[in-house]
A and B are shown apart, each in its own frame.
Chain A
Amino acid sequence: MKAIGVEAVNVTKRFGAFTALDDVSLKVRPGTVHALLGENGAGKSTLVKCLLGYNLAEVGSFIVDGREAHITQPQDAGRLGIGMVYQHFTLVPSMTVAENLVMARPDVPRVINWSVERARLATFMAGMPFKIPLDVPVDSLAAGERQKAEILKQLYLERRLLVLDEPTSTLTPQESQEVLGLVRSLVQAGTITVIIITHKLKEVAAFADDVSVLRRGKMVGGGAVAALSATDLTTLMIGEKHAPAIIERLGAPGATPRLAVHNLATLGDHGRPGLNIDAIVVHPREIVGIAGVSGNGQTALLEVLGGQRFATSGTIAIADKPYHARRDEAFALKVRVLPEEPLRNGCVPSMSVEDNASLRRFDRNDDGSPRRWLDRKRMSARAKTMIAAYGIRTPSKDVPIAALSGGNVQRAILARELDGAVDVFIVANPCFGLDVKAVADIRARIVAARNGGAAVLLISEDLDEIRELSDRILVMRDGAIVFEAPAGADAQMIGSHMVGHG
C-alpha cells in the first residue's frame, strides 16, 4: 500500500496573543478518509498548514509514516509525499493542464521536450480513473474539472497523503459526488490517505471513515463516523445543543411584478459568453433564487443590476419604471444591493464603519432633498443603531471597515442596505465563508425583508442556501436562464440543469 498515515502530537500554535491551536493531537490511519470538522476560525486550516510546512508549530510534533518528521517548509512536506489541494485553486489559469502538471514537478528539465512529456502524461492518465482534457487552458475548465485537475496534479506528483480544503465549496451536487467518489475510490485502492476539511456534515457521513472536530483551537472530539450521529457532530462543532432556527417565509408573493429584467445582454470576458437573459421577474414578497455553477454569468448579472457593468441591450424595470442602476434611481425606487465580496464591491475599505453605514444617505435629508453639510450627529446615531441591531462586532464605529472580520463586514453592509423601506433587494453569495451563527443571522434578515414585502433576488453558488430560502428557483448557465423550478425542487434535478445534462 502506498498510502501513509500521519499523526499530530500535542501541537500548539500561537499568533501573537491569539492561540490558534491549543494542544491538538490527531491520528490519521493510512488508507482512510479522515474528516476535519469545525466552524470558521476553529483552527482546521492552521493545523494542516503546520503539517504542510506553511506554519511552524511552537510546541508539538508530527509523525509521518511512523517516523517523526521535521517539516519547516512546504518542500519538506512534498518530499514526505504530503500534498494539499486548496480551496482557492492553485493551477495557473492561463496555462494548459499539461503545462501545469509538468511545471509542478520538482525536476523540470531546462528545455521541455513535449513529445516525451506527452507520452509520460498519457501513461499516467491511462492509470487514472477519470479523464481531463490536457490541452485546454485551465481557466476554460468548469469548477469540477478544475478541482479534479488539482487532485490529478497531486497524484502526478506521487503524493501519498492528500489534504483537501473544502473541496466541494464551489461545486454542484453532481460534481461534489463525482469528485468525492473519485477520492474515495483512490483511498480504497490504497493509493492515498486523505484528510478532508469541511463543514458539510452530509459529506462527512457519506465519504469519511473517521472524523475529528475542532472548536476554537481545541480538539473537542471525534472517532469513527459510523458511531456518531449528525446531532452529535453539530453539538461538538457549535458547542450548543440547539441548531440555529430557520425563519419561515410568511405570506404569498404579490401578483404584479416588482423587478422585471428582459432581453438583457452584455459582452463576455476572457472569451466566455456574456449575459443573454430572456426574462427574470420577481414579485413583492418573493425570493427568487438564481442557482448556477460559479462563472456562468452570475457576477455579470449582479454587476449590471448594481450599476458596475454596462448592458449592451435589454431593459430593467422596477415597478414598471425603467431602471439604469443610477444612484438617484436606486434611492427613489428603493433598490438595495448586497454584493458579493462587500469589502471590494460594497464599501470604501479605508473609511470608518460609521461613514460606510451612511453611504446611501449621507448627502440627503429624509425627504430626499440634497444636503451640502454632513449631519455627523445623525450619521453617528445611525451607525450606533445598526451596530446594536445587527450585532456587528467592531471595536468602535470609527475604525476602518476593512478591520472587521468578513462576517461583520457582511452584517454592516446588510444593515445599511436594509435600513428604511426596501422594495427590491438584490443579494449575492451572502453567506460565503461565514460561520454557522452568522449564516443563520443573515438568512433570517433576508427572509424578514421578504416577509416585509420586498422583492428579493438571491444569486448564490450554494444550492442548499437557494433551496432553503427561495420561493422560486432559476438556473443560470452560460449567461442564460435555462430552467425554472418551484420551491423545494429536487437538488439533483437542479444540479443537472446547472451543468447542462438536464
Chain B
Amino acid sequence: MTSAAFGTVLFAMLAGALRVSTPFLFVSLGECLTEKSGRINLGNEGALVLGAMAAYAISYETGNPWAGLLAAAGVGACLGLLHAALCSLTKVSDIAMGIAIMLAGTGTAFFFGKPYIQPSAPQLPTIPFGFWSSSAQIRSALDVSPLFFLGVIVGIAMAWGFRNTRLGLTIRIVGDSADSARAMGLRINLIRLGATAVGSALAGIGGAFLSLVYPGSWNEQLSSGQGLIAVALVVFARWNPLYCIGAALLFGAAGALGPSLQSVGISKGYYLFNAAPYVLTLVLMILSVRPGRSLKGAPGELSIVR
C-alpha cells in the first residue's frame, strides 16, 4: 500500500467513524443511563431496529424526516417503558426480559416494515463540512449529520448531569445502592422506569440515524447487532458518558475499516474486515474483565455485578 493510499484509508476511517459511530453513541448513552439507574436493558437492540423502521415509515408517509425521528424516539420509549414495567415486578430477571424485548422489537419491526423495504423515504439533512473542497469524495465524507453532534451534546450533558443535578445524583443513588435509596424515601421503580424509557428513546434515535442518514435505507439486516455491541461498549467505557463518546468513535472507526480498504481497491477479505467491530468487542471484553477482579465503576445494583 502506498503512503497516499494509506492516507486515504485513514481519512476514510475518520470520516466513517463520524458516520458509523452515531448509532453506537446513542445506544451506548441510552444503555449507560439505564445501567446507571441499576438495570440492564438488552432490549435496546430491539429499540434500535424498531426505531429505524418507524423513522423510515413515518418519514415516507409524512414526507417529513424529523417526524420520523420523533416517531423513532417514541417507539423506543414505549419499548423501554414495557421493559421497565415488567422488570419492576418481583423476581423478573432484567437480562431475560431484555432478550424478550429485543426479539419483540425486531419482530415487530420486520412485521410492519415489509412494505417499506422498496420505497425510498426522505432523508435527514446533513451539515456539509466539506464545502471548501473540490473533491467530491472529501465533500461526501465530511457530510456530518447533526445527530452526531446531538449525541455528543447528550453525552456531555449526561456526564455533567450525573454530577451537578438532583436528578442525576438521584439516578446514581438508585443504581448504586437500593438500600440507601429506600432509606431516603426515593421511588426506585419510578426512577428506573424513567431512566429506562429515556435510554430506550435514545436507542430509537440511533435507529433513526441508521434508516434516515447512513446507510439510509430500511432492511432487515440494518442493525446487525449494533445495539448489543453498545452494551459491551458501556462496560468498556466504565459507565462514563464521556468515555462512551470515545468508545463509540473507536467502534465507528473499526466498522469503517472494511469500506475504507475497499475504497483504495483492497477488497480481499472485505467481510473479514467488516467483522472488526465484533472482534474488537470480544478483545475489549476479554481485556477489561479479568478473573479474580471485579468491575471498577460498575453501578452496585446491576444484576451482573451483585
Residues of A with Cβ closer than 8 Å to B? 73-75, 86, 88, 90-95, 99, 102-104, 108-112, 114, 266-271, 309-310, 312
Please, how many angstroms separate the alpha-carbon atoms of A268 and B172 in the complex?
24
B292 at interface, CB cutoff 8 A:
yes
Tell me if B290 and A103 are in contact (CB < 8 A): no
Tell me if A114 and B292 are in contact (CB < 8 A): no
Return the chain A residue nearest B170 by Cβ.
A103
The 5 closest A-B CB pairs, nearest first, are A267-B293, A310-B292, A90-B183, A108-B166, A90-B180
B177 contacts across to A, CB distance below 8 A: 90, 92-93
B167 at interface, CB cutoff 8 A:
yes
Return the chain B residue nearest A311 by Cβ.
B292
B163, B166, B183, B296: the one contacting A270 at CB < 8 Å is B296
B167, B176, B293: the one contacting A93 at CB < 8 Å is B176
B292 contacts across to A, CB distance below 8 A: 266-267, 309-310, 312
Tell me if A92 and B183 are in contact (CB < 8 A): no
B204 at interface, CB cutoff 8 A:
no
Please, how many angstroms separate the alpha-carbon atoms of A92 and B188 in the complex?
14
B164, B170, B294, B299: the one contacting A111 at CB < 8 Å is B164
Tell me if B183 and A74 are in contact (CB < 8 A): yes
Return the chain A residue nearest B300 by Cβ.
A93
Please, how many angstroms separate the alpha-carbon atoms of A75 and B167 in the complex?
20
B179 at interface, CB cutoff 8 A:
yes
A268 contacts across to B, CB distance below 8 A: 293
| Contact mask for chain B residues 160-178; partner A; CB cutoff 8 A; 1 contact, 0 none | 0001111101101100110
Return the chain A residue nearest B295 by Cβ.
A270
Give me 25 A-to-B residue pairs in the complex whose CB atoms sit less than 8 angstroms apart, sorted by A's number: A73-B185, A74-B183, A74-B185, A75-B185, A90-B180, A90-B184, A91-B180, A92-B180, A93-B176, A94-B172, A94-B176, A94-B300, A95-B173, A99-B169, A109-B166, A110-B167, A111-B164, A111-B166, A112-B164, A266-B292, A267-B290, A268-B293, A269-B294, A309-B292, A310-B292
B265 at interface, CB cutoff 8 A:
no
Query: How many interface residues does chain B have, given as a range?
Result: 20 to 34
A-B contact count (CB 8 A): 66
Tell me if B184 and A104 are in contact (CB < 8 A): yes
Return the chain A residue nearest B291 by Cβ.
A310
Tell me if B184 and A94 are in contact (CB < 8 A): no
Return the chain A residue nearest B167 by Cβ.
A110
Within the complex, what minimum Cβ distance (angstroms) separates A170 from chain B? 16
| Contact mask for chain B residues 277-293; partner A; CB cutoff 8 A; 1 contact, 0 none | 00000000000001111
Tell me if B179 and A88 are in contact (CB < 8 A): yes
Please, how many angstroms separate the alpha-carbon atoms of A95 and B176 in the complex?
9
Please, how many angstroms separate the alpha-carbon atoms of A94 and B165 in the complex?
16
Please, how many angstroms separate the alpha-carbon atoms of A111 and B170 in the complex?
12
Tell me if A112 and B172 are in contact (CB < 8 A): no
Given contacts A93-B176, A104-B184, contact A111 B165 (CB under 8 A): yes
Please, how many angstroms separate the alpha-carbon atoms of A271 and B295 in the complex?
10
Return the chain B residue nearest A309 by Cβ.
B292
Within the complex, what minimum Cβ distance (angstroms) separates B163 from chain A? 8
B183 contacts across to A, CB distance below 8 A: 74, 86, 90
Within the complex, what minimum Cβ distance (angstroms) separates A87 from chain B? 11
A312 contacts across to B, CB distance below 8 A: 292
Please, how many angstroms separate the alpha-carbon atoms of A267 and B293 in the complex?
6
Within the complex, what minimum Cβ distance (angstroms) separates A210 from chain B? 27
Return the chain A residue nearest B177 by Cβ.
A92
Return the chain B residue nearest A271 by Cβ.
B296
Tell me if B299 and A94 are in contact (CB < 8 A): yes
| Contact mask for chain B residues 174-204; partner A; CB cutoff 8 A; 1 contact, 0 none | 0011011001110000000000000000000
Please, how many angstroms separate the alpha-carbon atoms of A377 and B296 in the complex?
48
The CB with the most chain A CB atoms within 10 A, among B170, B292, B297, B299, is that of B292
Given contacts A75-B185, A310-B291, contact A112 B165 (CB under 8 A): yes
Please, how many angstroms separate the alpha-carbon atoms of A268 and B290 in the complex?
11
Tell me if B165 and A110 are in contact (CB < 8 A): yes
A109 contacts across to B, CB distance below 8 A: 166
A111 contacts across to B, CB distance below 8 A: 164-166
Tell me if B296 and A114 are in contact (CB < 8 A): no
Return the chain B residue nearest A110 by Cβ.
B166
B:90-115 near A, CB below 8 Å:
none
- Further 5 A-B residue pairs, CB within 8 A, beyond A93-B300, A94-B176, A95-B173: A90-B177, A90-B184, A94-B172, A94-B299, A110-B166
Please, how many angstroms separate the alpha-carbon atoms of A292 and B290 in the complex?
27
Return the chain A residue nearest B184 by Cβ.
A104
Return the chain B residue nearest A268 by Cβ.
B293
A88, A92, A114, A309: the one contacting B172 at CB < 8 Å is A92
A309 contacts across to B, CB distance below 8 A: 292
Please, how many angstroms separate the alpha-carbon atoms of A91 and B176 in the complex?
10
Please, how many angstroms separate the alpha-carbon atoms of A92 and B172 in the complex?
9
Within the complex, what minimum Cβ distance (angstroms) separates A211 from chain B? 27
B163 contacts across to A, CB distance below 8 A: 99
Return the chain B residue nearest A73 by Cβ.
B185
Please, how many angstroms separate the alpha-carbon atoms of A104 and B185 in the complex?
10
B179 contacts across to A, CB distance below 8 A: 88, 90
B296 contacts across to A, CB distance below 8 A: 270-271
The CB with the most chain A CB atoms within 10 A, among B165, B169, B172, B180, is that of B180
B290 contacts across to A, CB distance below 8 A: 267
B165 contacts across to A, CB distance below 8 A: 110-112
Please, how many angstroms separate the alpha-carbon atoms of A183 and B180 in the complex?
23
Please, how many angstroms separate the alpha-carbon atoms of A93 and B178 in the complex?
11
B166 contacts across to A, CB distance below 8 A: 103, 108-112
Within the complex, what minimum Cβ distance (angstroms) separates B157 from chain A? 12
A102 contacts across to B, CB distance below 8 A: 169
A73 contacts across to B, CB distance below 8 A: 185
Tell me if B294 and A270 are in contact (CB < 8 A): yes
Within the complex, what minimum Cβ distance (angstroms) separates B162 from chain A? 10
Please, how many angstroms separate the alpha-carbon atoms of A309 and B185 in the complex?
37
Return the chain B residue nearest A95 by Cβ.
B172
B170 contacts across to A, CB distance below 8 A: 103
